[in-house]
Amino acid sequence: MPDDRVEKLELQVRYSDIDSYAHVNNAVYLSYFELGRVEFLKKHLPKDSIEKIGIVVARVEVDYLSEIKLGDRLICETWISSVGRTSLVFSSLLRKNDIVAARGKITMVHVNQHGRPEPLPGFYRDLVVQVPPIT
């Protein structure tokens, strides 16, 4: 049974995503992961709070496993894999034609209006997925 705490987003590889080697540029993967996070947050947070979220990227880890080319069918799977006192980790998989092409872990910190870390709202803890699909 699919877990509704794992957001799945279909992505289209655009011509502008392609580099001179005819595959998706490594930096574009971060944009794909961002699209997945935004869809996740839109699904799980009240509509009027998405613009008021005070979380900022603190760390990014990407494992590039297989190249992505124009025409590949992409699915970005995104979930919260862990939470701390002031931070949370979004994990993502980029699948191309049912093969995992990349894995990402993005650590985000909850900050106040002055940019200082502050405790995460409790609802994030309810969204953590302990054992996500990795295949």
Q: What is the pLDDT of residues 94-114, one digit of tens each?
A: 999 889 999 999 999 999 889
Distance of alpha carbon 39 from the chain centroid: 9
3-state secondary structure of 124: helix
Predicted local confidence at residue 1, as pLDDT: 35
Domain span including residue 14 = 7-127
77 part of a folded domain:
yes
133 part of a folded domain:
no
Phi then psi for residue 83, to 5 deg, are -135, 150
119 part of a folded domain:
yes
Is the pLDDT higher at 82 or at 52? 82
Domain count, the chain: 1
The CATH number linked to 67 is: 3.10.129.10
135 part of a folded domain:
no
48 part of a folded domain:
yes
Question: Whole-model pTM?
Answer: 0.89
For residue 27, the tally of other CB atoms under 10 A from its CB is: 10
3-state helix, strand, coil in the chain (%, to 5): 25, 40, 35
| pLDDT tens digits along 12-38 | 999 999 999 999 999 999 999 999 999
Highest mean pLDDT among 43-47, 66-70, 123-127, 129-133 belongs to 66-70
107 part of a folded domain:
yes
Percent of the chain with pLDDT over 70: 89
134 part of a folded domain:
no
29 part of a folded domain:
yes
